[in-house]
Each structure stands twice: as C-alpha cells, then as structure tokens.
Amino acid sequence: ERGKRERVCMCMIFPCAPNLFNVLSSTWPLNKLLNELLCKPPGPFSTTNWTKADGENCYGSRDGHPAHGATDLEQPPSASCGTMPLAACQEKCLELANCTAVTVRRAASGGQDLYECYRKTDVSLGHCDAGTDFDTYVRHPWVLADGFNCYPGHGAQDLEQPPGSDCGTMDVRSCQSKCAATPQCSGVTWRGSDHSGVGLCYRRAALDLSRCDRNTALDTYVWGA
C-alpha cells in the first residue's frame, strides 16, 4: 500500500508524464524528490503566466533518436502548427488539453513579430538544446532548469551581498519568495541538502540559461514575472 501511495503522489507532481515514476525513482536524488513533495506542491498550469527559456530548443524523439527535453504535440512531430504572433501561438497551446509549453523560432519572412509555433508537453530544460535560435515558453510562473548552476560569468548576475554568499537555508518555495521580494531578481539557484528538502538559496538576475553550467548538483528556477 505504501508503494501505491508514493506512486500516486509522483503522478500528481508530473500529471503529463505518469509513467515517469520509474525513471525518477532511480535517477533523481532523494533530496530533490523530497523537496518536490513537501516544499513545492503541484498546481494547475497557468493560462496567463509564461516563463521564457531563451535559446532552448525542446523537442521529442525523432527517427529513433531520443527526445531532447520535450514531447511533441504536432503531427507529424517535427511540424509546426503555423506561423503567427507569439500570443497566438500560446493561445494555440491552450486549445490542447495536455499542452504545457511552446517552442518558437522567428519566421524567416513575414515580419519581426511572427514565429514558427511548436506545441509541447513534458518539458525538461536540462535536456533541451541550448544556445539555439529557438525559445521555449512554459505555462508556469516558475520553471525548473534541472542541474543548471547560474552565476556571474556563467549566465547570471549575483544579487547577494557580499557576492558569492547565499541568502539563507530554506525550501525552494521560500527561496522563490525571497526572489519575488527582491528588485531585478529573475530567478534563483538552489543547492539542496541530502534528504532534508531544504538548501542554500542564491538570488539571480539577467539569467541566460545557455551560458549556465549544466549537469551540476545545483538547480536554477526561472521566474516568468
């Protein structure tokens, strides 16, 4: 019965990918799972708040090759759903019940405000292609960039005083609240402590995920406000 309850909790956290439980249980550090369960409970995706991940191209499996951070919702998977303004692309996403993000690229012709629109779900920024001419917008005020460490010279400005320090030990939600109360803050980098659900909080500005360190023991949460 305990295993069944744990599986239900995991599927609530990842409603778009219920089969992800077996992967997460074997690959995610326990402190990260604990934090997601206790400190950052799931909620519905927003219909108005979109967080931008600059330069991130997220797409699904193609021609037998593994996915790069997303599941495609177009048919065929590599197709777009048209060329349109960004707001129209986001509206197109809302038309699909399981769409949680869009990846866009500025159209080669037709004006500066037109984009090729690709609807996505199951986005994981740590596995998308970085530094591309695509951007990805996720329907959530805070988006996790798993394993990203962003700091001066590596994709972020440090807002702590003195530089290099943290602003305390806390859970992710409290860290995000500190950022929201800080002028210029556009995200946080968080270093979790094993098994505790809390970690060191570092407030950041001017985030550029394409320049952050990847595959580290830290995570960065990008704020779309």
The model's confidence at residue 24, banded by pLDDT at 50, 70 and 90, is: very low
Residue 17's pLDDT band, with cuts at 50, 70 and 90, is very low
The region that residue 69 occupies, defined by phi over 0 for left and psi between -120 and 50 for alpha, beta otherwise, is: left
Answer whether residue 195 shows pLDDT above 70.
no
For residues 82 and 88, give the distance between their C-alpha atoms in angstroms, rounded to a whole number.
10
Output the pLDDT for position 44.
65
pLDDT score recorded for residue 154: 97
* pLDDT, the chain, mean: 82
Please tell me the distance from the alpha carbon of residue 139 to that of residue 143, in angstroms, as a whole number: 9
CA distances from 120 to 74, 102, 169, 182 (A): 8, 6, 34, 31
Nearest Cα neighbor of 83 from 58, 114, 62 is 114
Return the SS3 of 164: coil
- Per-residue model confidence as pLDDT tens digits over 70-98: 999 999 999 999 999 999 999 999 999 89
The span from the CA of 35 to the CA of 192, in Å, is 8
Asked whether the beta carbons of 203 and 30 are under 8 A apart, the reply is no
